[in-house]
Amino acid sequence: GAGVSQTPSNKVTEKGKYVELRCDPISGHTALYWYRQSLGQGPEFLIYFQGTGAADDSGLPNDRFFAVRPEGSVSTLKIQRTERGDSAVYLCASSQSGEGSYEQYFGPGTRLTVT
C-alpha cells in the first residue's frame, strides 16, 4: 500500500516568509508525528497528534511553529517568519495506536532551505 507522503520534497524560501509543509499519513493510522533533522544529526521530535488533537507539542521550538490535523488524516506544519536556522529536513511519520507498541513509518521528508 501507499506509504507516508510529504509535499513539497524541496522548498526554498526567503528569510521572513511563511511556509506550509504537508504530510499524508498511511491510511488508517491515527498517530502522526513531525520531526526535523539538521545535517549530521538524528531526527528531533517536534509534535505528535493522536487523531485531530496534539497529544505532545513539547518539541516545537517556539511560537513561530504550528501544526494542524483538522480531520485526523492530513497534517500541515506551518512556520511563520522563517529564519535561516529553520533550514532542515522536516520528516513526518505515522503509526497505528492502541495497547502495545507500534513502529512509526516515515515519509521521505521536505528539505527546507531559508535564504
Partner 1 sequence: DAKTTQPPSMDCAEGRAANLPCNHSTISGNEYVYWYRQIHSQGPQYIIHGLKNNETNEMASLIITEDRKSSTLILPHATLRDTAVYYCIVRVSTWHFGNEKLTFGTGTRLTIIP
Smallest distance, Å, CB 50 to partner 1? 6
Whichever of 36 and 82 has its CB closer to partner 1, that residue is: 36
What's the per-residue H, E or C state across 5-64?
EEECCEEEECCCCCEEEEEECCCCCCEEEEEEECCCCCCEEEEEEECCEEEECCCCCCCC
Cell of 86: 529553520
Whichever of 38 and 115 has its CB closer to partner 1, that residue is: 38
The answer to whether 62 and 95 are in contact (CB under 8 A) is no
DSSP 8-class letter at 90: E
In the complex, the residues that contact partner 1 under the rule CB under 8 A are: 4, 31, 33, 35, 40-45, 48, 50, 55-56, 59, 91, 93, 95-109
Gyration radius of the chain's alpha carbons: 14
Smallest distance, Å, CB 99 to partner 1? 5
Whichever of 14 and 103 has its CB closer to partner 1, that residue is: 103
Smallest distance, Å, CB 81 to partner 1? 26
Smallest distance, Å, CB 5 to partner 1? 11
Whichever of 41 and 62 has its CB closer to partner 1, that residue is: 41
The answer to whether 73 and 86 are in contact (CB under 8 A) is no
